[in-house]
Amino acid sequence: MASAQDRGYNKQLLVLPFDHRGSFQEKLFGIKGTPTADQTKMIASYKTIIFEGFEKAVRSGLPKDIMGILVDEQFGTEVIQRAKAAGFSVSIPAEKSGQDEFDFEYSNYQAHIEKTNPDLVKVLVRYNPEGNKEMNCRQAGRLAELSKYLEKTNRKFMFELLVPATEEQLARCKGDKKTYDIEIRPSLMVRAIQDLQKSGIEADVWKLEGLDRTEDFVKVCNAAREGGRDKVGCIVLGRGESSEKVREWLKAGVNVKGVIGFAVGRTVFWEPLKAFKEGKISREEASDQIAKNYSGFCQMWLDARH
């Protein structure tokens, strides 16, 4: 069993996440519900394009040991195998896609984790400390169970924390989400991390919504690392925002102690895949564009990091 000293992640981590499932099939292909075998195959082929873009980016001279992918089992089995064979860091999601409340994608999630054998197991959780108490409590129970299992089996835990505004919080900002993001969300993120830790949830990597101010990154990282969790890392997620916005967030956090990288997905791959689907560009051009977009973020990160 891993000890508290083993907790955390000891290097940078620049992730290309494409574990999107429900949103991917609905928004890109208009497929609702469970896709057929043929549809699954087609969606999987688009995931392969993303992976090929990732490979090209790495071949362009980026440091392979800190690059990784986050992809799902449903559409990404082939990608997982190829990435593992090539020696890339592979993370897989454990949550059911597109739900407000965290639950496991598979009731026998342990068997799936053993089978795919990822470097990190990721969960996406919507948790607002001032939100629905019963829901928060139910989620925390499931997540603590997963945390214990991962610790026992010596696996790394990546926790993607989203803190959506409650109606009351949004009303306080006169309905302006930007104001909420800047003025209210940072302190809620600190409280959420502390709540979850008290519930027995120990993440090695926190995958966090971007913050506009460096001092907020410091506060959130301090919460993630308090109580002897000195090696726990934080990575910044892209949230499908514009390239400019994501770069602002990365610049605000790049040199904060504890911020070890990013996970930027839709901002990197969405437009190239859409253009390919519409017949405007070839498959090769789509993966080239993905490589260029992802490399751009990686290079910016590496250049800005002291």
Give the relative orientation of helices 266-277 and 37-59 as an angle to the nearest 10 degrees.
Answer: 120
Confidence grade of residue 158 (pLDDT, cut at 50, 70, 90)? very high
What's the whole-model pTM score? 0.96
- Parse the chain into domains and list their residue ranges: 94-239
Q: What is the pLDDT of residue 230?
A: 95
Asked whether residue 179 carries a pLDDT value surpassing 70, the answer given is yes
CATH hierarchy code of domain 94-239: 3.20.20.70
- Calculate mean pLDDT across residues 165-188: 96
Top pLDDT among 1 and 303 is at 303
List, for residues 266-285, the tens digit of each pLDDT value.
999 999 999 999 999 999 99
CA-CA distance, 13 to 5, in Å (whole number)? 19
Percent of the chain at pLDDT > 90 equals 95
CB atoms within 10 A of CB 39: 14
Q: Which two tokens stand for residue 165?
A: 């505004």
- Is 238:265 a contact under the CB 8 Å cutoff? yes
What average pLDDT does the chain have?
95
